[in-house]
Structure 1
C-alpha cells in the first residue's frame, strides 16, 4: 500500500483534549500535544505547535495567522492527505479553504494495522502486565467498583495505565457487554475485561470466572477455532462466518464483532465482522473475543494474537 499515492503530504492535527488524533503519535512519537500539527512527507516529519508545547526540534506559532503562514509555506500547491475520521469539522472547513484535501483515513488505518518490531514489543509487554494482574485479582467480599479500582492500582504499580475503563461485571451484570462497574458485591460468574496501556500501546484481555458448563466450553472452543483458523491472506469476513456458524450450531448468537485490531488505541481501526473486507497479514495484532450473552449471565473470553509466519499466535 502506497500511503502517498495521489498526494504530496499528510496533515495530521490534534485539537484540544479529548480530540487527539492517534496518528500524531504514530508519526512523531510524541503523545498528547494539543492544537499541534504534523506535516508528513515521504522524507520528513515537521511539527508545528503552540508556544505552550515548545520543545526542541519543532516550529512554534503564536497565533492562528502565524500557524497558517507556516503551513502555506510547507504545503502551497500540494495535494494534502488528512484523517477524515479524526479532524474536527471546524478545522476541516478552515483547511479546505487553504489546500486541496484528500481523506486518506482508510490508508492510515491499514498502515497502522501492520506493526513493527518495537510496536509488537510494547503490545506484548502490555499483554504480559494485563495477564499478571488478572491472576492476582481478589474478589471475595468486594464490589465491582472496588475490584476495578484495585486493578487500576495494580497496573500503576507495574508502570502501566488503563487502555480503557475496566469492565467488572458480577452475576447477571455479565450479560451486558459494556457494563460499568457498580456497587454489586461479588457473585459468580465474574467477568473481567481489562487491558494495560504500556508506553502508549494497548492490550485487551477478557476472562469469565465461573464453574465451567457447556456454554463456557463452546465459547472457549470458538476462541481457539478462530485463532487456529487465521492465516495470512484469509478474509476477515470468512473467519467471522466460520465462528458464527459454529456458535449457531450450539444455539449461541454473535451480537458483536469477533475481534478488533489493537495498538495505540484499544480499538485500533480494523474490525473482524460480517462485512470486513480486509485480508489478514503478517504483523497484524488483534483481540479475538467470542462471547455469548444469556438471560442470567454472559460469557466472554478474549485473547490478543499476533500474525507471524502466516499464522496467529497468542501473545505473552
Structure 2
C-alpha cells in the first residue's frame, strides 16, 4: 500500500484510523458506527456486528469484529500515528494503562487531496446529477425558498444521488447577502443564490449560481464573474492556494468591494464537501495536479443583496472547469 511508504517517511509504525471518510478511502467501505482501521504491514479493519456483513463484502482490508479498545491495544506497536480529528476521550482511553508513543499526522488527508481517475469520475457524476437536477427545477415566483431547495434535492435523488452533499442553500432578496443562509418560507425574490450539491458513491459536488434581475444585480454579478475567471486562470501546479485567493480578491478589491468579500475563494472537494487545501489568504499549500477545488468568490452587501458564483475545478496543467451549467442563469 502507498500509505505504508508515507508512514515510513514519518517514522510511523502503526496508523490508527477512526474517521469514517478516511476508512472509506483506504478500505473501500464506509462504516455506519464505530470502526477502527489499523494500518501496518498487515492492516485490519475492526468493525461492529451491525456492519460486519457489509464490511466483509466490500472492504479491501481484512475485517475482524471490534470487541473492545482494551483488546485492540494488543495490535498496536511502535510509534502510533493518530488523526487530529480523534476526540480527547478516545485518546485518553487509548493511552490508559499502556505506554504508547504517538504522533499526530494528516497522511491520509494529504493522500485524499490528489484524486485518482476513479475518484474524479465519481465527482464528475455527482456534479452531472446536481446540474441536471437544477435544470429540472421550476423556479416559479410563487414558490418558497424551502420548496425550491426540496425540489432540487428530490430531483437529485431521482437522478441517482445518494443524497444532497450538504444542506441546500436557497437565499433570495435581501437574504442573498447571507453566505450560509438557512432556507426560509419566504416566497422567491431576486436575486436568488442557490448553493447545492449531490453525493454519488460517497463523493460530493458543490456549485453555486445566482439568478439576477436588475442592472444593479448585473453590475455586481459581472465583478464576481471577473474575479472567478481571474482565480481560475491562476490555477496551475506549483501555485500556492493563497495566490489563487489573491487573484480573485484583487479584482473585487479593485472595484471597491473588498470588504464585502467575506469568505475564502474556495476549497478542495472529495469524500467531504470541505477538504484541504482551502483557497484562503493564509493557506500556503502548493496546488498539485489531480486536486479538485471550488472557486467561489462572492460580494455581499448587507441588508441589500449578495452574489456568489461557484464552479468545480480539476487541476491538470491548468485549472479545468468541470461544470457544464452556464454561470449566468436566465430564469
Question: What is the TM-score of this pair, normalised by structure 2?
Answer: 0.87
Aligned to 2:280: 273
Distance 2:233 2:186 in 1: 37
Cα distance per residue 1:105-145 (max 9 Å; x no partner): 3x332211001111101001111111111222212110011
Distance 1:50 1:134 in 2: 39
SS in structure 2 of the partner of residue 156 of structure 1: helix
Aligned to 1:306: 314
Note the aligned Cα RMSD (angstroms). Answer: 1.6
Taking the TM superposition and a 5 Å limit, the aligned residue runs for 1:1-316 are 3-4=6-7, 5-13=10-18, 20-41=19-40, 43-55=41-53, 56=56, 57-62=62-67, 64=68, 67-72=69-74, 74-76=75-77, 78-84=78-84, 86-97=85-96, 98=98, 99-105=100-106, 107-140=107-140, 141-160=142-161, 161-211=163-213, 213-253=218-258, 254-295=261-302, 296-308=304-316, 310-316=317-323
Cα distance per residue 1:245-292 (max 9 Å; x no partner): 111010122210000000000001321111111111000000110000
Cα distance per residue 1:203-230 (max 9 Å; x no partner): 0000000135221101011111111111
Distance 2:20 2:64 in 1: 19
Name segments (4+ residues, structure 1) moved above 3 Å: none
Distance 1:243 1:145 in 2: 31
Distance 2:108 2:50 in 1: 28
SS in structure 2 of the partner of residue 110 of structure 1: helix
Aligned-pair distance for 1:53?
A: 2.3
Aligned-pair distance for 1:94?
A: 1.4
Number of equivalenced pairs: 301
Residue segments in structure 2 that go unaligned for 5+ positions in a row: 57-61, 324-331
Call closer, same or farther: CA 1:172–1:116 in 2, change over 3 Å: same
Contact 2:170–2:195, Cα closer than 8 Å, also in 1: yes
Aligned-pair distance for 1:44?
A: 4.5
Aligned-pair distance for 1:29?
A: 1.2
Question: What is the TM-score of this pair, normalised by structure 1?
Answer: 0.91
Residue segments in structure 1 that go unaligned for 5+ positions in a row: 14-19
Aligned-pair distance for 1:101?
A: 1.4
